[in-house]
Amino acid sequence: MAGSMIFLIVSVVVLNVAALMMSKRLTAWEIWTTSLFALVCELVVNIVLDLKFDLYGYFEKGVQGGSFIAIFGLYPSANTIFLNFYPFGRPKWQKVLYILGWSGFCFIFEYASLKLGYFYYHGWKLWYSALCYPPLLWLMVLNLQLIRRLR
């Protein structure tokens, strides 16, 4: 448990420092609204797949403080970094490669999280996540585009 919490806290610190220190291409409004959208998506998915169907979870079954550190510490900063450097205005192949690259990063991070015990599976498979990451990341891009149109 100690190793998994250290991995989580180091990950939260690294991602949040990176998100704070990077030169911003997103406005504060875009960061705020896209982060809220990412959190809502994560929470809805977790309510269904973790709490309802018990397919996976953080640390151990049920809700605990470490889950909140993971959700609120990782998702907004990772989402901000992903969207900040998304290649808007570039050819489609670059956008596809960017999403696939981030999907690979998410896959590796999830694999490490499993091995270190901060994440567990009960029926979920790592390859399910590999299939889910590209559409979820594309959804984040579409959300940012919608926010920009609405603004």
Q: What is the pLDDT along the chain (151 residues), one digit of tens a residue?
A: 677 889 999 999 999 999 999 999 999 999 999 999 999 999 999 999 988 999 999 888 877 788 889 899 999 999 999 999 999 999 999 999 999 999 999 999 999 999 998 899 999 999 999 999 999 999 999 999 999 999 8
Q: Shortest CA distance to 136 belongs to which of 92, 106, 110?
A: 106
pTM: 0.94
Strands 56-58 and 119-121: antiparallel
> What's residue 49's pLDDT?
93
